[in-house]
Homo-oligomer: A and B are copies of this chain.
Amino acid sequence: MNSTEIPNWLKQRAFLTPNRIALKTENEEISFLTLHQNVVKKANQLTFAGIQEDDVVSVLMKNRIEMVELIHALNYIGAVTVLLNIKLSSSELEFQLKDSGSKIVLTEDDLLEKVIHFNNEIIRLKELQELPEKDCAIQGYFSLDQADTIMYTSGTTGNPKGVIHTYGNHWWSAIGSSLNLGLYQDDCWLLSVPMFHISGLSILYKSIIYGIPAVIHESFDPKRANDAIMNQGVTIMSLVSVMLKRMVDELGDQSYPNSFRGMLLGGGPAPKPLLEDCLARHIPVFQTYGMTETASQVVTLAPEYSISKLGSAGKPLFPVEIKIEKDGMLANPNDVGEIVVKGPNVTKGYLNRMDDTKTSIVDGWLYTGDMGYLDEEGFLFVMDRRSDLIISGGENIYPAELEAVLLAHPGILEAGVTGVDDEQWGQVPAAFVRKEEGSIVTDDEIIAFCYKKLAHYKVPKSIHFVDFLPRNASNKLMRRKLIGLLKDENND
């Protein structure tokens, strides 16, 4: 039995509804037909540049129409696209390029500096636009089992892992979401989260599959986002708590129009006061739960429960199941345990990491590492992302990665990182450091050292020197106890 094939999505969409608007920016609107034509041109230029079916190609770019076009063009060719986070440091990018076996990096002038010194072939957008075309054999069908994109995400230990998304993962994500949220003729989705994250990329695919416009913002700005809802027909938006709070503040005493259907709120448990504030102001919020490995949201709170189950992430999308496991057993209702997810939008695995894949995905069930419980009616309440995950302004920060950098400093013997609450970003990383004997390294020096090695959002906002780190019997760092050290420090 072959995997289900669906006609090339954008090509089919451009055939079915050529004149509908596909993308909007502040300056232009592009129909599906024009987008398709632009994509064919780009696919031909990439073909001229030597990119072929099954090649792995990295894209390092800000949200912009050309980024959308390149992602689709790589689909047309049948290449596999690695989406690179533009905030990463050079050494972080180098790891992902090597690990994914990227043949070529597509980037733009502003970001060139980050990758210029690597061995990979680089094509800048401006160069690409000048290239001649060579006829590309456009993929007529996408097989749902076929690898489409790769995004890196860090685990509890070690290096980031490349999550493989098949066309099927993206397809089922879009379909599952539409069966939950509905699909209205005038729907229009604001895409102001990065397309190198699954939250942004999934909107791009929804736009094509649903036949609705995506309004693209290069970066998030609360005033522009509010304006898109108030004046540009945006009906749905994906965001995280810190963005929502800024939008609500900026909104003042204005209200969104009735045509606005809702805020799809992801990126970790939301503060209840914010949700209550939105409720009081009649701002519809759909709490969601999802991650890169599940190709975006897999659990969403249905409209009819937004009041009675405030604070819950809801129930699974139609094709998805969740369960809670505790000590290898199914947990009882209201008992906290690990959240385990199954469904056709769950990744088939991590690139070149058979062992990690086998550990994380058992019989189709993904062990998320996140903690939560189901109430008696089966509503999910997420307690904590992976015991140690720090979510800062919608970006995931993995303590293990920061600790590895800290330990590379010659003056540091031991290091532990945890998140501390922050009004602006939700959480920010704090580092606990035990110096090498005799070392006179200062916190400023350590922070400067981190800036060289890490994306800026990952750099610890505070360094705390300690005499010991809390470890369990097997000497494993107990990150959750780090916060206690901070309290001790304050009591001194």
Which A positions have Cβ atoms within 8 angstroms of B? 1, 3-4, 6-7, 12-13, 15-17, 19-20, 144-145, 168, 175, 178-179, 182-185, 209-211, 302-304, 315-316, 318-319, 321, 344, 378
Contact = CB atoms under 8 A, between A and B. Distances in A.
A287 to B, nearest CB: 15
Of A4, A145, A209, most B-chain CB atoms within 10 Å: A4
B4 A1 contact: no
Given A15-B378, A16-B315, A16-B318, A179 B211 contact: yes
B17 A302 contact: yes
B211 A15 contact: no
Contacts of A15: 315, 378
Given A145-B1, A344-B4, A183 B183 contact: yes
A321 B7 contact: yes
Given A1-B145, A17-B304, A378-B15, A319 B179 contact: no
B209 A318 contact: yes
21 contacts: A1-B145, A4-B4, A4-B344, A6-B318, A7-B318, A7-B319, A7-B321, A12-B318, A15-B315, A15-B378, A16-B302, A16-B315, A17-B302, A17-B304, A178-B179, A178-B183, A179-B211, A182-B182, A182-B183, A183-B183, A184-B184
Given A12-B318, A16-B318, A318-B16, A182 B185 contact: yes
A59 B4 CA distance: 30
Nearest to A211: B179
A316 B13 CA distance: 11
Contacts of A144: 4
Given A1-B145, A4-B4, A182-B182, 16 more contacts: A1-B3, A4-B344, A6-B318, A13-B318, A16-B302, A17-B302, A17-B304, A20-B304, A178-B178, A179-B183, A179-B209, A179-B211, A182-B183, A182-B185, A184-B184, A185-B303
A21 to B, nearest CB: 12
A33 to B, nearest CB: 11
A302 B19 CA distance: 12
Which A-B residue pairs are the 9 nearest by beta carbons? A182-B183, A183-B183, A6-B319, A16-B315, A4-B344, A182-B185, A7-B321, A182-B184, A175-B175
A179 B210 contact: yes
Contacts of A179: 178, 183, 209-211
A203 to B, nearest CB: 16
Contacts of A210: 179
Contacts of A16: 302, 315-316, 318
A185 B286 CA distance: 15
Contacts of A209: 179, 318
Nearest to A212: B182
A304 B18 CA distance: 11
